[in-house]
Amino acid sequence: MKWHDVGDSELNGALAAVKYGHDPVAAKNLIEYFLERFRDGSHYNEHILLEFLDHAFGKIIEEGWSADHAFGLKLKRGHHERPDTTERDVIATAYMILLMRKNKNKNKNKNWTWLEVKGEAANLLSQAGLLPDGKGEKAVEEAYAFYANVFACLPDQALLDMLPPDTPVISRDKDG
């Protein structure tokens, strides 16, 4: 039996992956586990089965999903795993705020434009390998829109601590 040694913790993990992680491999594994147990007349975890069916039936009836989507075998549009970009987004926002502050304080007549600050942050993240190709300034802009209100009240040192070590906070003049 392929699924002979599967314990309740693995079944719970697979069910959680189907319900919350949108994982087609976990869904197929759950279905295989139950099919194997049904055909062999072996004991199976009824609670997991009922929770799995409740989840799938609810998606079909209440939300109009297809059976493949409801049972987790196919990903529904917009429900795929997205990479966690929190670190990148925090760095981008902190860097942008610092650049704007530094340039505003030092260069009263030479403030960077929003586009220049955004481009500089995108360059930093690209050099650090934190930006995927083709995302660039759009990713920085989205990060700033999400975190700026939260980070705007932080002191410079707190923002500097969010940046990778030795990140230059560049000013337009050569002095700073």
Tell me the whole-structure pTM to 2 decimals: 0.51
Best-predicted range by mean pLDDT (9-23, 79-93, 129-143): 9-23
Per-residue confidence band for 165, with pLDDT thresholds at 50, 70 and 90: confident
Most confident by average pLDDT, 47-51, 136-140, 141-145: 47-51
Residues 10-19: tens digit of each pLDDT: 888 888 888 8
59 — pLDDT class (breaks 50, 70, 90)? very high
DSSP state at residue 163: S
pLDDT of residue 76: 64
More confident residue, 43 or 124: 43
